[in-house]
Structure 1
Amino acid sequence: MTKPRVSELAYNGLWKQNPGLVQLLGLCPILAISTTMVNAVSLGLATILVMAVANLGIALLRNFIPYEIRIPVFILVIASLVTIVDLSFNAWLHELYLVLGIFIPLIVTNCIVLARVEAYAAKNDPWSSTLDGVMMGLGLVWVLAVLGGVRELIGNGTLLQGIDMIFPSMSAIQVFGDDYPDFLLAILPPGAFFALGCLIALFNWLNSRASAKSQRKTQPAAGEASVEIEAASASAR
């Protein structure tokens, strides 16, 4: 795979076609589990693993799967991987497993996973498909991390609450002090909608600003070219 192709897949997954901000896929886990940064990132990393391996497996098998039964086969592959992830969390990260609860098995029905398998892995080579799954997953992770961090910071005044479930020697960071009054709205589902709406608005503003900046750069060049053409035509007369 060429370097421009890698850059294109990375840019699409992390920004241009971000699953959380552009495609608006997987909103249920995005809104429900982003109460803390640890919960959000943990579920996002589990989703990356499923997406990468599912894309790899489907890309390897795409020529052997009949078109008529492709969706059931895709779901079967994804469900098998999610079962492995679910059992792994239960075995090695049991406290985090209890917190994430049903949202780990629900990765099977996550539109992000099935969409990338159907739209990309079923039509491309294994390496490109794996990279696409990783980048799309990372795009979801950074959205989850920002949402979880903002909601946790505003709601509880902390960051990395629950990190001891993964690394027992670590503890949460109390950013605003122990006397910070909890802002319950930020932790409840309405807070998730407000935070996601603000993040999408910021994302769109950054894109429009970059587009306007690129247009300003191209306009002088076009103006100079038109002046040169006019000068050439005048000299020809």
Structure 2
Amino acid sequence: MNLEERTAYGDIGRKGLWENNTALVQLLGLCPLLAISNTLVNAVSLSLATVLVMALASGAVAALRTLIPYEIRIPVFILIIAALVTCLDLAFNAWLHELYLVLGIFIPLIVTNCIVLARVEAFAAKNSPLAAAWDGAAMGVGLLWVLALLGGARELIGAGTLFAGIDMIIPGAQAFRLLGDDYHGLLIAILPPGAFILLGLLIAARNAWVARAAAARPAAPHAPADAASA
């Protein structure tokens, strides 16, 4: 891989993780973002499933893009995504059944997640399979870190714990009670209003960071007036 290709892949990763983050910038996929982020384990589990689907779906669409007629591309894209999600749903049911019962309908709903279809249509259908898979994974990881941060904050504020439900994945493992046994929790953090409030704070923090970075960046030098008139 030459320098130009490494730079291109670096740009794809940076856009997916930060500059064009699906949760904080595009505000896509808010249904699972707000509904399933009540604990860190739930948030990360659904995020990893989404990352896997996005990477595989993007790579598959990119590999088949020349064979898919333009007029029926959207139904074919949805069919590919649905097939992958069905396999993932069956795998969760077979190997992580307790977690499968908790996540419930949100695993099949990955099919209708606008993040997945948007990246397949906007990027995978126009680029190579490797670049498309990398783009899908980067966008998915961008969603993952936001969901993990949101889920961890909601669980910690709402219940005083982290990794509640980890025993559904690792038998015998226990959650960490970080705020002591006397902490009774703040119920609103676990309820949907708490998700909206914390997500709004995350978006505001990102926007403030970007604005401060832009203000600290040195301005481009301007051409002299006489040179411009000449």
TM-score of Structure 1 vs Structure 2, range by shorter chain: over 0.9
Residue 22 (str. 1) matches residue 25 (str. 2): yes
Residue identity opposite 2:136 in structure 1: G
Q: How does 1:133-172 map to 2 (within 5 A)?
A: 133-172=136-175
Aligned mates of 2:68, 2:10 — CA distance in 1: 30
1:121 matches 2:128: no
Corresponding residue of 1:174: 177
1:64 aligns with 2:52: no
The answer to whether structure 1 residue 42 and structure 2 residue 45 are counterparts is yes
Shift of 1:169: 3.1
1:189 alignment partner in structure 2 = 192
Please report how far the alpha carbon of residue 159 of structure 1 lies from its aligned counterpart in structure 2 after TM superposition: 0.7
Given the alignment of the two structures, is residue 90 of structure 1 paired with residue 93 of structure 2, yes or no?
yes
Would you say 1:11 and 2:21 are equivalent positions? Answer: no
Counterpart AA for 1:156: A
Give the superposed CA RMSD.
Answer: 1.6
Alpha-carbon distance in 2 for matches of 1:149, 1:72: 36
Deviations 1:160-197 (A, max 9, x none): 11111111132101000111112110000000000100
Distance (whole Å) between structure 1 residues aligned to residue 111 and residue 21 of structure 2: 19
Q: Hey, what's the Cα distance between the residues in 1 that align with 2:219 and 2:114?
A: 38
- Cα deviation code 1:50-96 (max 9, x no counterpart): 00000010000000000010000000000000000000000000110
For 1:206-217, list aligned pairs within 5 A: 206-214=209-217, 217=218
Give, as a single letter, the amino acid of the residue that structure 1 aligns with 2:181: D
2: distance between equivalents of 1:218 and 1:76?
A: 48
Distance in 1 between residues matched to 2:92 and 2:194, nearest whole Å: 28
Q: Which runs of 4+ in 1 moved over 4 A?
A: none
Counterpart among 54, 57, 72 of residue 54 in structure 1 = 57
**Number of matched pairs:** 224
Higher helix proportion (structure 1 or 2) = 1
Task: Calculate the TM-score normalised by the size of structure 2.
Answer: 0.94
Query: Which segments of 5 or more consecutive residues in structure 1 lack a partner in the other structure?
Result: 231-237
**Structure-2 separation of matches of 1:69 and 1:218:** 47
Inter-partner Cα distance in structure 2 for 1:181 and 1:33? 21
- Counterpart selection for 1:131 from 112, 130, 134: 134
